[in-house]
Amino acid sequence: MSTIDLVINNAGTMWFPEHTLTPDGVELTLAPHHGARTDTQVSPPPFSDLAWTKPASAILENECPSFAMMKAAGIELHGELVNESMSYVPTAAYVHGKTANLLYSVDLNQRLYDQLESLSLAVRLGEVTTEFGRNFSDQA
């Protein structure tokens, strides 16, 4: 049987000029940031045809310092990314998505450790040159 030693969740996009939803109704900044994390649910065990190696397994979440960004930008987390009474702020949507990932990683870590003696870690891997900022504009 094959084993899993390491899973790296790293996906994202940001800075859409207006509030946009996926066909499933998920805010477009949140969808790729957090959607991939649902593939690493512990119950039922992820990747059922594979076995997690114990205790060396880990899930790495690629994160930015969300809370520092929120404080610097004067953004408060209201429990939802955007609602009818809030204006859409691209930076806030990005930070809220990253905050959701950090909270998910904390919960996943507890479940992974309890069930499999494995870890979920949220880390900031740094910056690489990609098309990630393709939606940036001079006005943003």
pLDDT (tens, 9 = 90+) of the chain, 140 residues, equals: 566 666 666 667 777 888 888 887 777 777 776 665 555 554 444 444 444 444 444 444 444 444 444 444 444 544 444 455 567 888 878 877 777 777 777 777 787 777 777 777 776 655 656 676 677 665 54
3-123 is a CATH 3.40.50.2000 domain: no
Tell me how far CA of residue 118 lies from CA of 18, 24, 41, in angstroms: 39, 32, 13
Supply angle C-alpha 61, 9, 19, rounded to 5: 90
Tokens 């009474």 sit on residue: 85
31 within 8 A of 22, measured Cβ to Cβ = yes
Helix or strand holding residue 116 (H, E): helix 90-116
Domain boundaries, the chain: 3-123
CB within 8 Å of 102: residues ≥ 6 apart: 61, 63, 66, 122
Which pLDDT value is given to residue 29? Answer: 79
Residue 131 burial (CB count, 10 A): 7
For the entire predicted model, the pTM comes to: 0.57
CB within 8 Å of 44: residues ≥ 6 apart: none
